Amino acid sequence: MHNSWLVIQREYLERIRSKAFIIMTLLMPVFMGSTILIPAFLSDMKSGVTRHIVLVASNAEIAEAVQKELTTPPAGNAEQRKAAPRYRVEMDSNTSEAERDKLRRDISDGKIDGFLWLSDSNLANRKVVYSAKDVTDFSENIELRNAVHSAVVKRQLGQKGMSEADVESVLEPIDFDSVRIEKGREGASGVAVFLVSFTMVMLLYVNVLVYGFAVMRSIIEEKTSRIMEVLLSSVTAKQLLAGKIIGVGAVGLTQALIWLAIAGALSIPRLGAAHSMLSNVRIPTVGIIAFAVFFLLGYFLYSTMYAALGAMVNSDQEAQQVQWPAMLPIIFSIVLSTPVLQHPNSALAFWTSMVPFFAPILMFVRIMAETPPLWQIALCIVLMLVTTWGLLGLSSRIYRVGILMYGKRPTLPELRRWLRYSG
Amino acid sequence: MVGSVCSFLTNHPKMPAAVELRGIHKTYDNFIAVDHLSLKIREGSVYGLLGPNGAGKTSTIRMMIGITMPDDGELWLFGEKFHREQLQRIGYLPEERGLYKRMKVLDHVVFLGRLHGLSAAESRKRGLDWCERLQIDGWVHKKVEELSKGMQQKVQFIATLLHDPDLLILDEPFSGLDPANVVMLKDIMIELKKAGKTILFSTHRMDQVERLCESICLIDHGRSVLEGDLKRIKARYGKNTIHMQYEGEAPFDHSELIESVNDYGNYVELRLRPGADAQQLLRMACERSRISRFELVEPSLEEIFIDTVKPHA
């Protein structure tokens, strides 16, 4: 045990101290954070810019209604209401083709940003055209469409005799939200469950693969640098393997917990626009526990496979060629994670989450989506432990023989003989 | 004389051997790596394990240090049957040297010292002392990969010697060393021998064995083909080897006097048949070419090696 402990210590400290670890640990949250913050920040920036557009309509009433929709801030939250109106609207009642050409030139010359063509014939056909230099901003297109739509609908309802107040109340938007019920109480909202599950599944997947692969590479390094023989003159192959897997796994867990801690810390203080997106996203405690449990179980299962593969090969290039048996099941479980998340109680979800190679991802997804019966979680964990134990026996036999074999990669019959060697 | 005292000790039944193999046998698939090998290494001696490539030297050593287990036979270390605690008394220098490239020198030395049962503080202290002695003390906080190959070798020796082992197992210790490092390692070995340590040397470099070892075991195809005290082995062969320097024609054709020839062009080493007369060969040679040197000597270990191994090949 003393020897395994020394190996664990070495693996852990050497990795934690390495520049690669520190950079990766810090960069990942920056990367993840910026994928959330940058779009929010950009749209913030854009909201400060006022677009200058021309409303071309022979019907002044319609033009005014649309202008009102565009310049009155929506009945959103306080922050959105505070923001300056995004559009400076100019009216134009000349709907001739000549005017249209002139406006086109104005766009090219940069005098205006765009124009909405609301000629009577267009309105009669219920078809409105927006011309601008760039029309790929979806949010702008949606805003304009909504403004025109709501102006036209309100006007038509008014013409049918409804009062303005009635029209407003009829058109009041309905706020739709789905809420997960847990033990009879309301839990996180549907969007939040999806976002958190998705992020954590990705983290789980990346970490299991990255650290499983790290075990394999470290075995190859010991083989190619030939330090293996020095180590084996005081440590048994089993102690070395156990120490390595535990040490590297501890590094992976440390990293994941640092990330989760950063994510937790970031979701507390207000962070401008990002806050509104993150405010209803809470990482549930059960999620963190399940993450730790399934990361460790998944990591042990996969790293024992990676260890055997590492002992069989002699270089990183060869490792690339043989690592598919370990990659395939985890990629497959990522593919299955979406249907399982949508129907966490289906037969498909149950059976696939009971397969030990898929369980680290799929059982975790099910727990995040809707806590399955306890016996299912227990059965799944037992199955994983049994499989890992069996694999560990096989892997350590391959490892013990393989680490002293240099040269050709073993064929399958050779591998079978390796398993029979006494020592 | 030292030799006679030593042979007295060898034969003394109470004196435990540092290493004793009793019919050790190891096969891989259908390949016999070590074939019922028995040998005894006296405590405090320098012992040479010789043999051509693939003879089973490394397989034998791996069993001595518990990396693999013999299929059959018994292994005794320091007078006790093998158990893993004994490994802390052994220092092993493998043929293929290796260190963690990205680890710092001192950290590495401390790690290997602790694996051999030293405390962290003690490993550190001894490691620094050794680094000072081998003049790499300016490099202890550098990564191994930043060191030159010669310096890495020194780190490897330190790792082998740090826990002050009673038995040193050195697999091809001089291969790949520059002359300065060869002298340094040799000096350390002699010092350790004087301190009563046992040294097992595995090599196919006969010149070094001849100078350093007291006893040898020559193995071929996993079997011991020659074992015992080096002086006695050489004496057994007698002065039956001739070193001859000549000019012109080769001094002889085939002759029933000669058992084997190693011709270098103007210098030849040859061995006489048992009972052949060296004077007769000299007369024959004089008739054919100019002889500038003719010497009757004991065979070198290399000749014994080639001679013993050849018939099996």
Query: Which of A127, A130, A128 has the alpha carbon at shortest distance from A54?
Result: A130
Report the pLDDT value the prediction gives residue A180, as an integer from 0 to 100: 66
Q: Tell whether A6 lies on the interface with B, counting CB pairs under 8 A.
A: yes
Residue A24 touches partner B, C-beta closer than 8 Å: no
What residue of B is the nearest CA neighbor of A235?
B115
| Domain span(s) for CATH 3.40.190 in chain A | 50-171
Please give the pLDDT value at position A243.
Answer: 92
pLDDT for position B1: 41
- Which two tokens mark B178? 């520059």
| 8 Å CB contact between A209 and A327 | yes
Identify whether the C-beta of residue A157 lies closer than 8 Å to the C-beta of residue A170: yes
User: What's the pLDDT at B111?
Assistant: 94
Which chain A residues touch B84 with a CB distance below 8 Å?
236
pLDDT reported for residue A317: 86
Element (H, E) at B163: none
Task: Tell how many helices (H) and how many strands (E) occur in chain A.
Answer: 19, 6
* Dist CA A326 CA A209 (whole Å): 9
pLDDT at B122: 94
What's the angle, vertex CA A114, arms to CA A111 and CA A115, rounded to 5? Answer: 115
Closest-CA residue to A286 (of A370, A345, A359, A202): A370
- A1-36 as b/e: b if 16+ CB within 10 A: eebbebbbebbbebbeeeeeeeeebeebbeebeeeb
pLDDT of residue A106: 87
Residues of chain B short of pLDDT 70, as ranges, are 1-15, 251, 253-254, 311-313
Q: Are the C-beta atoms of B198 and B192 separated by less than 8 Å?
A: no
- Distance, in Å, from the CA atom of B274 to the CA atom of B281, rounded to the nearest integer, reads 13
Residue A217 tokens, joined: 């590479």
pLDDT given at position A65: 83
Q: Do A226 and B114 make contact, defined as CB atoms within 8 angstroms?
A: no
What is the predicted pLDDT for the residue at A73? 62
CB-based contact (8 Å) between A419 and chain B? Answer: no
Given this model, what pLDDT does residue A273 score?
44
Interface of A with B in 75-94 (CB under 8 A): none
Residue contact A6–B114, C-beta within 8 A: yes
Assess contact for A212 and A245: CB atoms under 8 A: no
CB of A248 within 8 A of CB of A11?
yes
Domains in chain B (CATH in brackets) are 2-234 (3.40.50.300), 239-297 (no CATH)
Q: Indicate the pTM of the whole model.
A: 0.73
User: According to the model, what pLDDT value does residue B254 have?
Assistant: 64
Cα separations in angstroms, B259 against A158, B220, B242, B254: 126, 22, 11, 10
Question: What is the DSSP code string of A77-106?
Answer: -HHHHHSPPSEEEEEE---SHHHHHHHHHH
- Helix A374-402 vs helix A285-312: angle between axes, to the nearest 10 degrees? 20
Contacts of B72 in chain A (CB under 8 A): none
Judging contacts by C-beta atoms under 8 Å, the chain B residues touching residue A6 are 111, 114-115
Q: How far is it, in rounded angstroms, from Cα A70 to Cα B132?
A: 81
Return the CATH number of A50-171, one of 3.30.420, 2.40.50, 3.40.190, 1.10.3210: 3.40.190
Cβ(B110)–Cβ(B127) under 8 Å? yes
- Looking at beta carbons, which residues of chain B come within 8 Å of A232? 65-67
**Directed axis angle between helix A190-224 and helix A237-266, to 10°?**
150
Q: How far apart are CA B72 and CA B69, in angstroms?
A: 9
Question: For tokens 């997804």, what's the residue?
Answer: A365
Which pLDDT belongs to residue A280?
A: 52
Nearest chain A residue to B65 by CA distance is A233
Whether B66 sits inside 8 A of A233 (CB atoms) is yes
From chain A residues 230-289, the ones with a CB under 8 A of any chain B CB are 230-236
Q: What is the dihedral of CA B111, B112, B115, B118, to 10 degrees?
A: -80
pLDDT of residue A250: 92
**Can you give the pLDDT of all 423 residues of chain A as single tens digits?**
788 999 999 999 999 998 889 998 888 888 877 776 777 677 666 666 778 888 888 888 888 888 888 877 655 545 554 555 678 888 888 888 888 888 888 888 888 888 888 888 888 888 888 888 777 777 778 888 888 888 888 888 888 888 878 888 887 777 776 666 666 665 566 666 777 777 778 888 888 888 988 999 898 888 888 888 888 888 888 888 889 999 999 998 898 888 878 877 766 554 444 444 445 556 677 778 888 898 889 999 999 889 888 888 888 888 888 888 888 898 899 889 888 888 888 888 899 999 999 999 999 888 888 778 889 999 999 999 999 988 888 888 888 788 777 666 777 777 777 777 655
A-B CB pairs within 8 A amount to: 67
* B68 part of contact set with chain A, CB < 8 Å: yes
Sorted by sequence, the CB contacts under 8 Å of residue A173 that are 6+ apart come out as none
**With an 8 Å Cβ cutoff, is B65 touching chain A?**
yes
Q: Does A403 touch chain B (CB under 8 A)?
A: no
State the pLDDT at residue A91: 84
Q: Which residues contact A54 (CB under 8 A, 6 or more apart)?
A: A89, A90, A91, A92, A103, A106, A112, A114, A115, A116
Which of A221, A222, A234 is opposite residue B115, by nearest beta carbon? A234
From residue B247, give the alpha-carbon distance in Å to each of B241, B242, B251, B260, B282: 20, 16, 9, 20, 14
Query: How many angstroms separate the CA of residue A48 from the nearest CA in chain B?
Result: 52
The reported pLDDT for the residue numbered A191 is 67
Q: Is A417 on the interface with B (CB under 8 A)?
A: yes
What is the signed CA dihedral for B111, B114, B118, B123, rounded to 10 degrees? 10
Q: What is the CA radius of gyration of chain B?
A: 23
